[in-house]
């Protein structure tokens, strides 16, 4: 299920068309709620880091607002999984990544600079793995929100 935002065109004489604003697609198919882990719905969301954070129901945003830090890593993961953020650097070293050195983390294909960084991620499990790759300490250095 894709949601399209920000696409406006201005049409002037002589066939000139100018794009105003940027267009992007948010794909919430398979994306899970950072609070409950259930599939999200498009009508339950809050603004987050210049994008939208989606929830499974209208109760979960209340839980999220009470303890944003608790859900930050899974919220960051959701931005990447929904196409609202793009990876720019290796999340471990903060160096340029190698297109061929990838690992699935939380259902997202993440690129790394080297096998040493991949090994660092494979040595941890569960939420610790997600924190290492999508936590607030690395997110701003490794990813850029593109939904603006």
Tens digit of pLDDT per residue, the chain (148 long)?
Answer: 444 444 333 333 444 333 333 444 677 888 999 999 999 998 999 999 999 999 999 999 999 999 999 999 999 999 999 999 999 999 999 999 999 999 999 999 999 999 999 999 999 999 999 999 999 999 999 999 997 5
| pTM of this structure | 0.81
User: Residue 111 and residue 57: Cα distance in Å, rounded?
Assistant: 32
Q: Kindly state the tokens that stand for 34.
A: 């950072």
Q: Report the pLDDT value the prediction gives residue 125, as an integer from 0 to 100.
A: 95
- The Cβ of residue 110 has, within 10 Å, a number of other Cβ atoms equal to 24
Q: Report the pLDDT value the prediction gives residue 147, as an integer from 0 to 100.
A: 74
Q: Report the pLDDT value the prediction gives residue 108, as an integer from 0 to 100.
A: 95
Buried b (16+ CB within 10 A) or exposed e, 40-68: bbeebbeebbebbbbbbeeebbeebeeee
Q: Report the pLDDT value the prediction gives residue 25, as an integer from 0 to 100.
A: 60
User: Residue 57 and residue 52: Cα distance in Å, rounded?
Assistant: 14
Pairing of strands 85-87, 98-105: unpaired
Q: Report the pLDDT value the prediction gives residue 28, as an integer from 0 to 100.
A: 84
Q: Report the pLDDT value the prediction gives residue 38, as an integer from 0 to 100.
A: 97
Q: Where are the beta strands (DSSP E) in 41-142?
A: 41-48, 51-55, 85-87, 98-105, 108-112
Q: Report the pLDDT value the prediction gives residue 126, as an integer from 0 to 100.
A: 93
Q: Report the pLDDT value the prediction gives residue 61, as an integer from 0 to 100.
A: 97
- What's 70's DSSP letter? H
User: Residue 43 and residue 20: Cα distance in Å, rounded?
Assistant: 26
Q: Report the pLDDT value the prediction gives residue 75, as an integer from 0 to 100.
A: 98
User: Residue 84 and residue 101: Cα distance in Å, rounded?
Assistant: 22
Q: Tokens 């050195």 identify what position? A: 101
Q: Report the pLDDT value the prediction gives residue 14, as an integer from 0 to 100.
A: 40
């Amino acid at each position: 299920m894709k949601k399209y935002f920000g696409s406006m065109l201005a049409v002037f004489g002589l066939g000139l068309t100018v794009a105003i604003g940027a267009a992007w697609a948010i794909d919430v198919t398979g994306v899970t709620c950072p609070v409950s882990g259930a599939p999200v719905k498009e009508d339950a969301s809050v603004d987050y880091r210049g994008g939208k954070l989606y929830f499974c129901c209208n109760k979960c945003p209340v839980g999220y607002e009470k303890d944003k830090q608790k859900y930050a890593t899974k919220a960051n993961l959701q931005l990447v999984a929904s196409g609202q953020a793009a990876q720019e650097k290796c999340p471990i070293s903060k160096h340029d990544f190698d297109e061929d050195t990838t690992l699935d983390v939380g259902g997202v294909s993440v690129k790394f600079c080297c096998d040493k960084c991949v090994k660092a991620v494979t040595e941890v499990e569960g939420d610790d793995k997600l924190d290492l790759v999508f936590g607030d300490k690395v997110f701003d250095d490794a990813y850029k929100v593109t939904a603006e």
